[in-house]
Amino acid sequence: MVLATHNKGKQREYELLSGNAPIALRGLSEFEEVPLPDEEGRTFEEIATKKARAVSMMLGVPALADDSGLAVEALNGAPGVLSARYAGESADDYQNNHKLLEEMRGRENRKATFYCAIALAKPGGLVLNYAGRCSGIILDEPAGAHGFGYDPIFYYPPLRKTFAQLSPEEKNSVSHRGQAMRKFLNDLERILTWLGDR
C-alpha cells in the first residue's frame, strides 16, 4: 500500500504502528513526483478520502491516507482541518505552535482533542474509513523533544506528559492515530478480501 503523505514523521508512525501486519507501506518519496490534491474540505474524513482516492487512481495501487489535526475547545474547534497550515500555507511546526499559544494566552479553558481520519482507497475509487481521537490540554509553553506537529504543547493527563515527552511506543498506544490504525489492523482480514475483489 502507498502511504499518501510527504510528512516523514507521520510515515514513521505508520510504519511503527503497522508492526508485523502482512502489509508493506511505501511512502510517496519512493515514487517520482506524485502531487497530493489540495486539502480543502470540511472534515478530516473528507480530506483523507480525497487524498487516498487521488493517489490510488494515479498509481493504480491501494493508497492509505490520513488527515489529522487538533481541535481546541476555546477556539471553537480551531485549528481543525487547518492544523498543518494554521500559521500560513508554508508554516512549519514551530510557527503553528507559536500562533496557537498566542491565541490561547490568558484563556482558562485549555481542553483540546486530536482527531485522525484514515481512508483506504483502491484504484476503482471505493474507500474504507477509520477514525480515532484523543483528548488532552494545551500547555502554556512547549515541553519535550519527540514527535511532530502540536505534540510539544499537547499534554495528556493520564500519562502526565506531553505527546512530545512520550516515547514513540507510548504515544502510539494512546494517540488518535494509534487508535485509528488499530481499528484498521483489526479489520485487516476483511480489508485484504475487499482489496482482492474486482
Distance, in Å, from the CA atom of 78 to the CA atom of 83, rounded to the nearest integer, reads 8
Phi, psi of 178 (to 5 degrees): -60, -40
HSE-CB at 83 with a 13 A cutoff on CA atoms is 22
- Catalytic entry in 66, 67, 93, 140: 67
Residue that has been written with the C-alpha cell 510557527 in this structure: 95
Contact 170, 159 (CB under 8 A): yes
Contact 53, 61 (CB under 8 A): no
Residues forming a β-bridge with 161:
156
Give yes or no: 197 in active site: no
Helix boundaries (H) for the chain: 8-18, 44-59, 93-104, 168-174, 176-186, 188-196
- Catalytic amino acids? 67
